[in-house]
Amino acid sequence: MEDVEGPGSRAGLLETVSGRTLGKGGLIALLALAACSTPASDASAPRTIEEAQINQPTGSRPSNPTADMCRAGELQWLVGKPKTDIPVPVDVVNRRVTCTTCPVTEDYSPTRLNIFFNEQTEIVEQVRCG
């Protein structure tokens, strides 16, 4: 098969493919497919459990349930107290106060502080992250 520019020229494969076989539309499709391919990577999967715990996906539960990212330990004194004793937070975005039977979203945020109280007695029953 002769090159686009003649038998003596050294036209590139891309020029030959776009000029002879695929045309402009075929070239665009070829480039789109090439862009979708996954490049070979030298990066390997995490080698240790510690690396896997550090590189967790966003929104996943921490592998160490005792991790106190929301600082729930500081407010454990609220358990057994009336909900009126709950201090007004400085950061209202990362705190949720709700009854134990009330519907809440199921998304997990390790930095959100959840304070659950009994709806009938209005006594705090749980203080935890989530």
What's the CA gap between 80 and 50, in Å, rounded? 37
Q: Does pLDDT of 42 surpass 60?
A: no
Q: Which CATH number fits domain 67-129: 1.10.510.10, 3.90.470.20, 3.30.10.10, 3.40.50.1820?
A: 3.30.10.10
The structure tokens listed for 47 are 């080698």
For the segment 53-67, what is each residue's pLDDT rounded down to a tens digit? 555 555 555 555 556
Predicted pLDDT of residue 129? 94
CA 108 vs CA 27, 49, 73, 120: distances in Å = 45, 22, 18, 26
**What are the domain boundaries of the chain?**
8-38, 67-129
pTM of the entire structure? 0.50
For the segment 64-120, what is each residue's pLDDT rounded down to a tens digit? 555 689 999 999 999 999 999 999 887 788 999 999 999 999 899 999 999 999 999
- Lowest-confidence segment of 7-11, 21-25, 107-111, 120-124 by average pLDDT: 7-11
The structure tokens listed for 73 are 């330990």
